[in-house]
Amino acid sequence: MLKQILSKLPKKLQKSETVDSATNESGNNTSRLGHVFQCTNVGSAFSSKLNVVKRVSSAVFPASIAAEAVDPHLSFKDVPNPQKQNLFVSKLNYCCEVFDLNDMEKQDLKRQMLIDVVDFVTSGSAKFTETAISSVCKLCAANLFRVFPPKSRSTSTGGETEDEEPIFDPAWSHLQNVYDLLLHFVSSNSLDAKVAKKYLDHSFILRLLDLFDSDDPRERDCLKTILHRVYGKFMIHRPFIRKAISNVMYRFVFETERHNGIAELLEIFGSVITGFALPLKEEHKTFLWRVLIPLHKPKSVGIYHQQLTYCIVQFIDKDPKLASTVIKGLLRYWPLTNSQKELMFLSETEEILEMISMVEFQKIMVPLFRRIGYCLNSSHYQVAEKAHLLWNNEHIINLIGHNRQAIIPIIIPALERNTQKHWNNAVLNLTLNVKKLVHEMDEELVLACQVDLKEEQSRSVAAAEKRRLTWERLENAARPQPISPNISFLVEPATCAVAG
């Protein structure tokens, strides 16, 4: 009788049965369930297990997908408007799978699906809910983030040069659609940056920066636009992005001297500098001193010199007092055997001198014009021409005119040497033009400098003759003298002791 009464009481559902049932029906781990449900009859027990499945499903999958699965192969035109957002997320999740490039059927299907997604986003119909944001970031990470093959080019070139053809990625037709989606995603006005920053985080940005080393210039151009939009939209990430770019450039300058994306990264930073508030933070000045100026050192500076000069000019435009610091940095890294780099340095120097104030100019005019004097005498005619053409700039002429007492005595010896022995007729004509301009500026000072130069040359000739005579006397003194036959030597007989 007691057993019959107990059998009619409601039974307790075992914890293991609940977990196993939930796992089998949902296909997901349910270890997060920490409580046990009680049911009063068979119907309520089934309902309880169904609720467990729903809770687990909603925890693992997005709510929209869990509510109603949509076949990702359907077209947006074939589903009603309420279901389009679910289809959008389904297509994003499907495209997260990476197929072999040789599997053309799957690749074409995925490419068409990406095109549909991009068109849906472009039309403005897509809503970037947290589920959609997570799916977009996952899709981009799966398809874009990859390890590049070993570099086939010499590490000394540092990337593409004028004589090298760019290398194009064979998967670009697929990658381009992913980049289009990412660009529209970060540019969308409906994107909530506060929600998106949880998925487009520091790790995502670092992996994005790694892609700038791609050999394909089309990929680097897309990355440049996307990273610029990310910097503009996610204010919380701005300090991290600046620091990460600095680290890439540190590694390039001081370790590898090999990176394909320095020009694009500098182009991004050039637009960033224009938005710096005044007065400049110490962080930004440190970037100038420790990153931008040392970037003049690598041999491959020609690849990114235009963007580098733009960044330098933007800094000086923000704070004119930085001009003398930049000139000192240029003089420190001035090339001595690379004529092409020397031409770049002269062009950059001219741009800086057009912006420099009189006070800052006076700080660096003596070492600067000593270096320009060497350039005037360069045997490479293009370097010599470029140095002479500085006198065609009215602002530079004005600076020289106000400080002629210090500059003309440095320049006159270089001009006189060119007049006497430079091999190129074009350089010789430019030298005569500069001499005429300097005479008109201050004829009395020029004549005095010429007199001093002649006296210096006379002293040099006299010193050289004195040095020659000194060496001649030393050579004569060191030359072995012949032995005279009239000299006799007294030789004492040798004695030896004989033991008895």
pLDDT in tens, 181-239: 999 999 998 899 999 999 999 999 999 999 999 999 999 999 999 999 999 999 999 99
Q: Which amino acid, one-letter code, is at 60?
A: V
Peptide bond into 279 cis (omega under 30): yes
What's the confidence (pLDDT) of residue 107? Answer: 82
What's the confidence (pLDDT) of residue 43? Answer: 41
Query: What is the full DSSP assignment across 190-244?
Result: T--HHHHTTTS-HHHHHHHHHGGG-S-HHHHHHHHHHHHHHHHH-GGGHHHHHHH
- Under 8 Å between Cβ of 100 and 171: no
What's the confidence (pLDDT) of residue 1? Answer: 46
In the predicted model, residues of the chain with pLDDT beneath 50 are 1-2, 5-6, 10, 12-67, 153-160, 499-500
What's the confidence (pLDDT) of residue 105? Answer: 84
Query: What is the full DSSP assignment across 62-93?
Result: -HHHHH----TTS-GGGS-HHHHHHHHHHHHH
Q: Helix, strand, coil % (nearest 5) of the chain?
A: 70, 0, 30
Residue 222, classified by CB atoms within 10 Å of its CB into exposed (0-12), middle (13-18) or buried (19+), is buried
Q: What are the two backbone dihedrals, phi and then psi, of residue 397, each rounded to the nearest 5 degrees?
A: -60, -40
What's the confidence (pLDDT) of residue 50? Answer: 35
List, in order of start, the domains of the chain with CATH numbers. Answer: 2-60 (no CATH), 76-147+169-405 (1.25.10.10)
What's the confidence (pLDDT) of residue 80? Answer: 87
What's the confidence (pLDDT) of residue 372? Answer: 96
Query: What is the full DSSP assignment across 293-349?
Result: TGGGSSTTHHHHHHHHHHHHHHHHHH-GGGHHHHHHHHHHT--SS-HHHHHHHHHHH
What's the confidence (pLDDT) of residue 27? Answer: 41
- Under 8 Å between Cβ of 15 and 50: no
